[in-house]
Structure 1
Amino acid sequence: MTSTVLKACHWSLCVETSPQDGDSAASSQFRFPHKAFWVILSASLLLVIVALGLTGHLGLSRPHSQPSQIVRITVPDQTGVLINQSAVVDQQNDLVTFCVTSPANQTSTVLFDIKHGLICYKPVDQQSCFLRKMERSDYDNVHSLLHESARKNHFQLSGNETQRQTEFLGVLAASQVDVSTLEEPLQALCQDRSIHWTKRADGPGKQRLVYFCIDICFPSNICVSVCFYYLPE
């Protein structure tokens, strides 16, 4: 007489037994899944350990954000007297801040916000800040500083090789800017001052006087004298 084959399933594992197997079949039915459980658990723990190890390695190999760097620029003026300027380069936020000291030992600030394409002038002897949009030449000059500052933090410019140019900016007195609409670096720079838009102009004309100028020098041997005057209402 052919014995009936019984199929016992547990944990998605099937074991075929015959009625005459008795207790040995029942014993193997529970032993095998128990062993498979520990194998699966060990493999899972191994995968977790490998994953944590890879994550830690990637975290250590990831470059840290570069802090702001102070760069010094030394250049002789038209009379041969050395002028010292400093610039704070923040490559992570695309910001370059110039600190320009006048012969009277007063320091003005010029902030290049490359990300938003704006230049903000904060003269020491005024109660206002002045904005203008960056142009192609401004991007070229500032990028030379961003790239060169990665190699050194002091630039000695030669007087006979330095190109000098003057830019005139007319202040639009009727276009005061709401400081809350500006980005955080500009707000922090001019938080206690009024802010006005400016635009490039050919010159102040004979009937108007230039009321202040700021000289800025770049590592590309270019010095720019930016002069402001008020436009008519």
Structure 2
Amino acid sequence: MVRCWKHSDNRLEEAQCTDGGSAASSQSHFPHKAFWVSLSASLLLVIVALGLTGHLGLSQPHSRSSQIVRITVPDQTGVLINQSAVVDQQNDLVTFSVTSTENRTSTVLFDIKHGLICYKPVDQESCFLQKMEESDYDNVHSLLQESTHKSQFQLSGNETQRQTEFLGVLAASQVDVSTLEEPLQALCQERSVLWTRRADGPGKQRLVYFCIDICFPSNICVSVCFYYLPE
């Protein structure tokens, strides 16, 4: 507290200060208030900028991890096979969409991380699981490696190797969809899931009931045909 004194009739009397001390005190507080307000605003801007940077940093790798690849090759009758694949390198997934001449699309998912192939034919009420073999890994890895350089492949019909694989459906070994990984669960919602295994062929007593043709950039086209194994 500041006291002021004045002379009056040879006496010193205490009097109220009017020299602007209060005003000076309030003015001294004003710069401090302005400083804290500006500091708070600056911190808020920094936090917002960091949040946006983090969001972009998380979203960009995800967007770059998925790439759509189109593979075109004529079938044995000369008709072009309409096929595309979504390559997700971050999650080790390759999802094929194969459209038939009737304009109906089936889906084949290669889950490389868990070593599984899941077939979702458009005209069936089930999904079919198969364990990946060495040839499957080779074919998919060729797509993963080459898709980083280009997004379209035109395969030559004369140079393309064509293979046929038979998968026997194990009807008695139905899979609980909830036990599968997320990509497979999302693909086979509201469908039963059945295990299959590679077989030599259906034999004369068994009929093949559907096939899916898949082509890879390594000039290999595989026709996967399914039939039910004897109980």
TM > 0.5 fold call: yes
Match of 1:16 in 2: none
1:79 deviation in Å? 1.6
Letter in 1 for 2:61: H
Partner of residue 71 from structure 2, selected from 65, 70, 73: 73
Question: What does residue 165 of structure 2 align with?
Answer: 167
2:69 and 2:207 mapped to 1: Cα distance?
A: 33
Q: Secondary structure at the match of 1:116?
A: coil
2:83 match? 85
TM-score (norm: length of structure 1): 0.73
In the aligned structure 2, how far is the partner of 1:61 from the partner of 1:104?
43
Instruction: State the one-letter code of the partner of 1:115.
Output: K
Shift of 1:61: 10
1:160–1:172 distance in 2 versus 1, CA, 3 Å = same
Q: 1:212 maps to which residue? A: 210
Q: Where do residues 1-233 of structure 1 align in structure 2 (5 Å cutoff)? A: 64-65=61-62, 66-233=64-231
Change (3 A) 1:147 1:214: same
Distance (Å, rounded) in 2 between the aligned partners of 1:64 and 1:89:
14
Amino acid at match of 2:74: P
Stretches of 4+ moved more than 6 A in 1? 59-63
> What is the match of residue 26 of structure 1?
none
Give % identity.
86
**Offset at residue 82 of structure 1 (A):** 1.5
CA drift at 1:67: 3.4
Number of corresponding residues: 178
Q: Which secondary structure state, in structure 1, belongs to the residue aligned with residue 91 of structure 2?
A: coil
Asked if structure 1 preserves the Cα contact closer than 8 Å seen for 2:109 and 2:118, the reply is yes
CA distance in 2, matches of 1:79, 1:95: 31
1:175 Cα deviation after fit: 0.1
**Match of 2:71, as an amino acid?**
I
Q: What is the Cα deviation at residue 104 of structure 1?
A: 1.3
Cα distance change on mapping 1:206 and 1:143 into 2, 3 Å: same
Deviations 1:132-161 (A, max 9, x none): 100000000000000111000000000000
- Conserved 8 A contact 2:72-2:82: yes
Distance in 1, Cα, partners of 2:167 & 2:219: 22
